[in-house]
Amino acid sequence: MPPRPPRWSCGRRSTGKPKGGDSLNQERISHTQLTALIWAGVLAPAAELLPSMTLATAGRGAWLSPAAAIPLVVLSGLLLGRLSGERGLAQSIAGCFGRVGGGLILLIYMVWGELLLALRLRLCAQRLLSSGYRDGSLWFFLGAVALMVLWMGLGKLGAFARAGQFFLAILLTAGGVVLLLSLSQVEVQRVLPLWRQDALPVLLSALPAGGALGWGVYGAFLTGQVRPAENRGRWYGVFWGVGGCLLLVLSQLVILGNLGPALAGRLDNPFFALAKSVGVEGAFQRVESVIISLWTLADLTMAVLLLFALRAAGGALAPGHWDRWERWVTAGAVLVGVVLAAVLLPNGRALQLNRSLVPLGNLILGLALPFLLWLGKGFCEKKR
């Protein structure tokens, strides 16, 4: 019989692996889980911004804006995939551009990610406050959402990824029910016909639509935690990107077919307004409160995804000390987000930022900056 392991080895033999190898393996997620996390989180800004943000440009053709944004989504995914590789975006940037240059680039992403986190906390709390929970206060909802984000953000990535798949299934089911119940009220003349002169406005609406979907950029920071054996290549991500955009096209078609471009353009959240008009006889007379409550899952997913991305960026900035400070810095990021959300982002300013500055910033950090980094990475590799 082999000798029993010593008491201090907890019953496991030494494998010669560095300390922490087992926990790293437990953190690995599949490519499907990562893409599910991204889309579950992106559904939050998509419900807030589409189609109201694209109507000014595309008019009745705004339902085609997600399809027009497909080239931007695919290009951003390919660029970020090239940069990230199997190490993740943060480690790749730090390794390619050095401690100073890479650190500055990561700081840009971290500052923007912190702003997005604060904005997501604020918008989620504000939506809960204004949709049937009027007896509460903004501070209560903000604190409750922040504590939930912190609890999930301090946990294991694998557990969060499994929850994200479940959240995405719930969100797609809830959204599908609303759209299906609204299908009988669609008036085709509100969205068709489209003429040749409508093509250019629809193509131009790809920019605001791409900016709304650009919240998913921070998923690239987690590609280093995807199991290599299950990395299915770039085209698998392209399939998810194209498929998600086409589902958004169908949803925008139903929304505009029900509300019409004029009414949808005056509403802050056309999707939730559509849910307000939907009722199930004998079950729910007002589905809006149920949908908004369920859509909190999208807000949580997006906020926690940003928090994990900030953790990955912080680990690349200070690899030698990150194990000691990770939990404290993560809690500090949530605290800063709460302060920004409560003090510097009142409701009017939060909505304005979400519709103007944030889509532009997402396009810059999701397309323009990755393109420059890709050129710089290629130049560095040629010099070597």
* pLDDT for the residue 346: 77
Task: Please check whether residue 8 lies inside any domain of the structure.
Answer: no
Tokens of 185: 């009220």
Longest dimension (CA), the chain: 82
Tell me the C-alpha distance between 293 and 311, whole Å.
Answer: 28
Task: Please check whether residue 9 lies inside any domain of the structure.
Answer: no
* pLDDT for the residue 238: 84
**Confidence band of 278 (pLDDT split at 50, 70, 90):** confident
* pLDDT for the residue 309: 96
For position 180, which CATH number holds?
1.20.1740.10
| Cis preceding-peptide flag for 51 (omega within 30 of 0) | yes
- Higher-confidence residue of 94 and 383: namely 94
Residue given tokens 């471009």 in the structure block: 261
With CA atoms as reference, report the closest residue to 146 among 281, 338, 361, 298: 338
Give the number of domains in the chain: 1
Domain containing residue 164: 29-199+206-314+324-378
* pLDDT for the residue 5: 44
With CA atoms as reference, report the closest residue to 354 among 122, 67, 85, 174: 122
- Coil vs helix vs strand at 33: helix
* pLDDT for the residue 16: 38
List, in order, residues 6 or more apart from 224 with CB less than 8 Å away.
84, 86, 87, 88, 89, 90, 91, 312
* pLDDT for the residue 75: 95
Residue 284, phi then psi, degrees to nearest 5:
-120, 120
Buried b (16+ CB within 10 A) or exposed e, 245-264: bebbbebbbbbbbbbebeeb
**Confidence band of 154 (pLDDT split at 50, 70, 90):** very high
- 373 to each of 6, 116, 154, 366, 369, how far by Cα in Å? 50, 22, 30, 11, 6
Mean pLDDT (the chain, rounded): 86
Task: Please check whether residue 20 lies inside any domain of the structure.
Answer: no
Task: Please check whether residue 97 lies inside any domain of the structure.
Answer: yes
Residue 279 scores a pLDDT above 70: no
Task: Please check whether residue 49 lies inside any domain of the structure.
Answer: yes
Task: Please check whether residue 300 lies inside any domain of the structure.
Answer: yes
pTM value is 0.89
Task: Please check whether residue 363 lies inside any domain of the structure.
Answer: yes
Contact 208, 278 (CB under 8 A): no
Task: Please check whether residue 220 lies inside any domain of the structure.
Answer: yes
